[in-house]
């Protein structure tokens, strides 16, 4: 299936916007892609074929949706802006394998949506050009809900992509790096200049692929406790891990109990949170939980 006149060109995008009298809502972070090359890189990274499905978040006027429909068996596109639904219905009319869902993805029952639209499909990729202000909540919802997703390919702010893919000991490494890497294997696909959007955003973007793990790289007794320890360790980046954990989990009376526990976990108390690997955090969480420190 091939559309004769590609949506993702400056001329066609401007023509569609003008014909429908569409105005961009800054509050929704709307930036439409007008570059075929970037679209191809996104679709290639999603690793689709005629047996696979694609869930798109924020299709805009359908530039990426069109490419996904050409590559996948089924596409479900979730769009929050009611004004875009008639435009999408019109421009995507040549593609019977697209289902449009009007709603906020953060409030959508995704397991039900998957059951309804992808019950006959084994592998689904999530593909999106995400608004910067909701990038993290959307990605964490997708990862935490343990959906039958093969990979997630998203265009996001370059700085956020670098944080997701960061290694221990780097300035970008933090709670987001650990959370994303607990559920997936991140890989930067390409950097995207702001010139390939209408309107142009003020920041550089990047395409990142998150290959969803079948199981986390570490075993933890309690995910809630594990992430609580991670968050506490980064509360103040300049502080040592010992000082951050004391602030969160200990009182003046029992703060001396922490150092022996850190040493038991094989962690030098003077280290900072950003130097610890995901394996070290798992070990630390286990030791603290065993000692009755933290939740549960």
Q: Give the model confidence (pLDDT) of 212-271 as tens digits.
A: 999 999 999 999 999 999 999 999 989 999 999 999 998 888 889 999 999 999 999 999
Are residues 264 and 173 part of one domain?
Answer: no
CA angle 288, 167, 178 (to 5 degrees): 45
CB atoms inside a 10 Å sphere around CB 57? 24
Binding-site residues from annotation for S-adenosyl-L-methionine: 31, 33, 58, 79, 104, 129
Percent of the chain scoring above 90 in pLDDT: 76
**Above 70 in pLDDT, residue 32?**
yes
Res 255: pLDDT? 86
The number of distinct structural domains making up the chain is 2
**Above 60 in pLDDT, residue 278?**
yes
Are residues 141 and 84 part of one domain?
Answer: yes
Q: How far apart are CA 122 and CA 206, in angstroms?
A: 28
Are residues 228 and 177 part of one domain?
Answer: no
Q: Are 55 and 126 in contact (CB under 8 A)?
A: yes
pLDDT tens-digit series, residues 47-75: 999 999 999 999 999 999 999 999 999 99
- Domain boundary among the residues 188, 212, 236 is at 212
E strands, the chain, where?
32-33, 53-57, 74-79, 98-102, 124-129, 149-157, 184-192, 197-198, 205-212
Q: How confident is the model at residue 2 (pLDDT cuts 50, 70, 90)?
A: very low
Q: Is residue 47 assigned to a domain?
A: yes
pTM surpassing 0.75?
Answer: yes
Give SS3 for 32.
Answer: strand
Binding-site residues from annotation: 31, 33, 58, 79, 104, 129
Give SS3 for 70.
Answer: helix
Identify which of 35, 45, 89 has the alpha carbon closest to the alpha carbon of residue 68. 45
pLDDT tens-digit series, residues 187-198: 999 999 988 888
Are residues 19 and 157 part of one domain?
Answer: yes
Are residues 231 and 201 part of one domain?
Answer: no
Q: Is residue 38 assigned to a domain?
A: yes
Are residues 107 and 25 part of one domain?
Answer: yes
Q: Is residue 102 assigned to a domain?
A: yes
In angstroms, the Cα distances linking 235 to 52, 218, 229, 266 are: 41, 23, 10, 21
For residue 272, give its domain range.
223-290
Are residues 200 and 279 part of one domain?
Answer: no
Q: Are 265 and 281 in contact (CB under 8 A)?
A: no
Tracing tokens 């596409």 back to the chain, one arrives at 75
Are residues 241 and 149 part of one domain?
Answer: no
In angstroms, the Cα distances linking 46 to 63, 128, 149, 259 are: 16, 10, 11, 45
**Above 80 in pLDDT, residue 25?**
no
Res 244: pLDDT? 96
């Amino acid at each position: 299936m091939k559309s004769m006149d590609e949506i993702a060109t400056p001329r066609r995008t401007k023509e569609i916007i003008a014909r429908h009298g569409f105005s961009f809502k800054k509050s929704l972070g709307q930036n439409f892609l007008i570059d075929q090359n970037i679209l191809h890189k996104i679709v290639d990274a999603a690793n689709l074929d005629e047996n696979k499905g694609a869930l798109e978040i924020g299709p805009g006027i359908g530039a990426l949706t069109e490419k996904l429909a050409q590559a996948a068996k089924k596409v479900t596109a979730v769009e929050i802006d009611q004004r875009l639904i008639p435009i999408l219905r019109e421009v995507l009319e040549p593609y019977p394998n697209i289902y449009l869902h009007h709603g906020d993805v953060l409030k959508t029952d995704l397991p039900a949506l998957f059951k309804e639209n992808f019950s006959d499909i084994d592998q689904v990729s999530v593909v999106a050009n995400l608004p910067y202000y909701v990038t993290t909540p959307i990605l964490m919802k997708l990862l935490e809900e343990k959906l039958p997703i093969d990979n997630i390919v998203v265009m996001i702010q370059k700085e956020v992509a670098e944080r997701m893919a960061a290694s221990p000991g780097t300035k970008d490494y933090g709670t987001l790096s650990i959370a994303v890497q607990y559920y997936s294997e991140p890989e930067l696909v390409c950097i995207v200049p702001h010139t390939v959007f209408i309107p142009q955003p003020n920041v550089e973007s990047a395409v990142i692929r998150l290959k969803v793990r079948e199981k986390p790289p570490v075993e933890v007794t309690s995910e809630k406790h594990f992430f609580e320890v991670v968050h506490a360790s980064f509360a103040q980046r300049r502080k040592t891990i010992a000082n951050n954990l004391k602030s969160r989990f200990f009182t003046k009376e029992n703060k001396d109990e922490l150092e022996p526990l850190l040493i038991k976990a094989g962690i030098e108390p003077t280290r900072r949170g950003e130097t610890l690997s995901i394996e070290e955090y798992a070990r630390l969480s286990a030791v603290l939980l065993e000692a009755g420190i933290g939740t549960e």
